[in-house]
A and B are shown apart, each in its own frame.
Chain A
């Protein structure tokens, strides 16, 4: 192997003072009524220091010093276990002093994963996901037929070209088809027509980036951006938190130019909801789960909450919400869901119990992976709740619900 990618982040690594705030602390301070304990969900379950950012940064120091070497055990046990939820950066000590930035733990862990990819140390299941994404006959992480991607849009006659393009993403297109359908119905009700790439839509490459296949991700992103550019779209809207953050931040970090505006539907829907008459108010007690990639990664907290309040629901926050939200356990790119199912199951159980403790009977989120993961957690833990992805909720109050929507409720 040549120079480690980690070398590029050695200043960041050495900045880390191993202070322990990323392991367990009280957020916001004890005077805040929403103060909570805990930071890293992986540490919260497995309880050894090397699962925290401070522990990984210590390991990174040893890797840079050649005291330790990358190996399969290190990759499997530590490097790929990180959820990428970014809670550690949220609480990192320097952030508490004005003007200072946290240790960029996400960039450090991505660099370590890129090194692992280059050394062939990636867990097999995650490697298969990457191969599926880059397979021209599939272009999705699930290994499903490429031609199935646009199945959800078959009866919608969506144009291939428009000023605005809707990027459905793999999770919604293959696994949660009512979500993209709801998005289109809402936009049409508001008189907005959007283009859709159909089977030409590629996976955004979120999993490639979080698995360390940066070269694969780059090629994939460049082809995808080229295809979007060809539609003439000036703006792309997303219902998937992961895809949105990939376009908004990850491509930029990789030095890839995104020549159009990107917007999450929580922003798109708000003016629509102000304009259109609601068929009915959503008079229920609800709680909202912040997806890590929409919240901490992309900085969008208010939009979904404004929508929830706009439709008349009573929003009860979980103890850990907003910037301090607890990850659902799927992990960035679903790495934990795919490779560490027991760990994922434990983390999502803790989260769903937190949701249950609010007394809400509806859980809303804005990420298809969080939705699926938490719905499974509810099933495992016998928690009675209805589940809504944000578009489905909006569709319901606008009277756009179809019979099949009931299946969203878990």
Chain B
């Protein structure tokens, strides 16, 4: 925090803006908000090991309106106090964690109003702190869905947080990623001005469309992790809720067959969602649920979800999926794959996140975007990496009694791009083991970049320390120039995207 303002003056000023009940600077509150990730290695007692100096914010504030945010930003600018915007606090790259320099943590989850559904634009407008759970719930009242239904397994994540990190996720295969469905954003700039992007930049327009009135300025703030401004409201496309659904579980003879088949199904737009599995604990779960002989699934399984508005169309889709699967010599598993926690249309898919406890210890994930057809190659690197007995030794023992790691690739994006996730678990109960896990995690992140993946997570930790070194100088300079121009006092989430530090 700035030295020109005492802690009590800071708190008093913020209470003057949002009210005393919406401000907390107790030690336990500040430390609770010092972490921002789900299933990640960044954890208490590791501060000296981190790539960036993360620490607790000075104070947590919960604005309810855009006006609150404007007043807070103007105040922070006056005293040059960092602001860290935070949605659900469920990312894995510490994007919404403060640096040790502290600052004002904006917990935006009280900006959660569903503002309206506009049938003319077939889009809905809401405050950016709304959670995926609440948004889906509100849209369902109109018989609608946002299509893309949030990051894998986390209905408690904020929609605005997903915009800030370019979220992939549930049913991205059919509907595209979250940000592909954004029509307008309302953003509070680092100096306190409020802008609307897209069609709402024109004061005479009351409908929602993104690509008009000049450059796509919504895109500037997407994936920017709050480095260029604070997203306070957003407009998202909506879709009718499909009435008919099917789920399949296929076992392919090889990963290449699996990826070819999924690519073919995707190119014909047959799938709403899918998950390719390459290695690891999911096999054990499948075997458990379907009472199969252990080890039987040691090839390329794939979970597939499809949907339609008409029963006959669904039947045709099912037939085409089966035809392609048969072409690649897949075996169709009996039983209901939704028993595996994969039922993308109604239960947010949990096969990824839900297994954290199955392993024992803390789950470490590395998510990057890849073309599906690149996955077998990427898997090969992991097979070699985890063959190392010294690494295998570090991993936790699962509830089934074996040490293992995992690769899965859910189709969180359109057009054959997937989220390639490799995961491993380690006992996290000692500082020494957490340090080893953190180093191992970064080793994989670093290698994934070397191997040409595109990092999914942007923020402060995870891929960013390695990624910024791989940017072209021109791109990196452009980002830095943008930051300096928009945020001259460097108050907006310093450290995000590797900027402002």
Chain A 66-85: CB-based contact to B (< 8 A → 1; otherwise 0): 01100001100110000000
Return the contact of B134 from the options A14, A37, A78, A98 (Cβ within 8 A). A37
Chain A 270-290: CB-based contact to B (< 8 A → 1; otherwise 0): 000000000000000000000
Q: SS class of chain A's interface: helix, strand, loop or mixed?
A: loop
| A23 interface residue per 8 A CB criterion | yes
Chain A 1-16: CB-based contact to B (< 8 A → 1; otherwise 0): 0000000001100110
- Specify which of B285, B341, B361 lies most central, judged by the most chain A CB atoms within 10 Å of its CB: B341
Return the contact of A24 from the options B37, B133, B354 (Cβ within 8 A). B133
Residue contact B345 to A31, C-beta cutoff 8 Å: yes
Residue contact B153 to A19, C-beta cutoff 8 Å: yes
Q: How many angstroms between the C-alpha atoms of A35 and B427 in the bound complex?
A: 35
- Tally of contact residues, B, Cβ under 8 A: 66
Return the contact of A20 from the options B31, B88, B107, B347 (Cβ within 8 A). B88
| B358 interface residue per 8 A CB criterion | yes
Interface residues of B in 334-366 (CB under 8 A from A): 339-341, 343, 345-348, 350-351, 353-358, 360-363
Return the contact of A98 from the options B31, B285, B357 (Cβ within 8 A). B285
| A36 interface residue per 8 A CB criterion | yes
Q: How many angstroms between the C-alpha atoms of A19 and B131 in the bound complex?
A: 13
Residue contact B353 to A93, C-beta cutoff 8 Å: yes
| B327 interface residue per 8 A CB criterion | no
Q: How many angstroms between the C-alpha atoms of A48 and B22 in the bound complex?
A: 9
Return the contact of B356 from the options A15, A30, A49, A59 (Cβ within 8 A). A15
Q: A26-B136, A30-B136 are in contact. Are A48 and B156 (CB under 8 A)?
A: no
Interface residues of A in 79-98 (CB under 8 A from B): 93-98
Chain B residues with Cβ under 8 A from A96's Cβ?
153, 341, 347, 350, 354
Q: Which of A99-107, A119-127, A382-390 contacts B (4 or more CB under 8 A)?
A: A99-107
Residue contact A77 to B28, C-beta cutoff 8 Å: yes
| A29 interface residue per 8 A CB criterion | yes
Say how far B485's CB is from chain A's closest CB, in angstroms.
Answer: 33
Say how far B368's CB is from chain A's closest CB, in angstroms.
Answer: 19
Residue contact B32 to A29, C-beta cutoff 8 Å: no
Q: How many angstroms between the C-alpha atoms of A50 and B35 in the bound complex?
A: 12
Q: How many angstroms between the C-alpha atoms of A65 and B428 in the bound complex?
A: 11
Residue contact B156 to A25, C-beta cutoff 8 Å: yes
Residue contact B109 to A47, C-beta cutoff 8 Å: yes
Chain A residues with Cβ under 8 A from B26's Cβ?
73-74, 77
Q: A25-B131, A25-B133, A48-B62 are in contact. Are A17 and B356 (CB under 8 A)?
A: yes
Residue contact B156 to A97, C-beta cutoff 8 Å: no
Chain A residues with Cβ under 8 A from B362's Cβ?
14-15, 17
| B27 interface residue per 8 A CB criterion | yes
| A18 interface residue per 8 A CB criterion | yes
Residue contact B31 to A59, C-beta cutoff 8 Å: yes
**Looking across the interface, which residue of chain B has its beta carbon closest to that of A96?**
B350
Chain A residues with Cβ under 8 A from B348's Cβ?
26, 29
Residue contact A55 to B136, C-beta cutoff 8 Å: no
Q: A14-B362, A65-B44, A96-B354 are in contact. Are A50 and B28 (CB under 8 A)?
A: yes
**Looking across the interface, which residue of chain B has its beta carbon closest to that of A20?**
B156
**Looking across the interface, which residue of chain B has its beta carbon closest to that of A70?**
B28
| A347 interface residue per 8 A CB criterion | no
Residue contact B133 to A97, C-beta cutoff 8 Å: no
Residue contact B45 to A36, C-beta cutoff 8 Å: no
Say how far B461's CB is from chain A's closest CB, in angstroms.
Answer: 15
Residue contact B341 to A14, C-beta cutoff 8 Å: no
Residue contact B345 to A47, C-beta cutoff 8 Å: no
Residue contact B43 to A61, C-beta cutoff 8 Å: yes
Say how far B150's CB is from chain A's closest CB, in angstroms.
Answer: 10
Interface residues of B in 100-152 (CB under 8 A from A): 107, 109-110, 131, 133-134, 136-137, 140, 145, 149
Residue contact B134 to A49, C-beta cutoff 8 Å: no
Say how far B287's CB is from chain A's closest CB, in angstroms.
Answer: 11
Residue contact B28 to A15, C-beta cutoff 8 Å: no
Return the contact of A30 from the options B37, B62, B145, B340 (Cβ within 8 A). B145
Q: How many angstroms between the C-alpha atoms of A55 and B62 in the bound complex?
A: 16
26 residue pairs A–B, Cβ–Cβ below 8 Å: A14-B362, A15-B360, A17-B38, A19-B154, A19-B353, A20-B89, A20-B154, A24-B109, A24-B134, A25-B133, A26-B134, A26-B136, A35-B140, A47-B109, A49-B29, A50-B29, A58-B35, A62-B31, A67-B44, A68-B27, A74-B27, A94-B355, A94-B358, A95-B354, A97-B340, A99-B288
Known A23-B156, A26-B133; 4 more pairs at CB < 8 Å: A14-B429, A24-B131, A93-B153, A98-B288
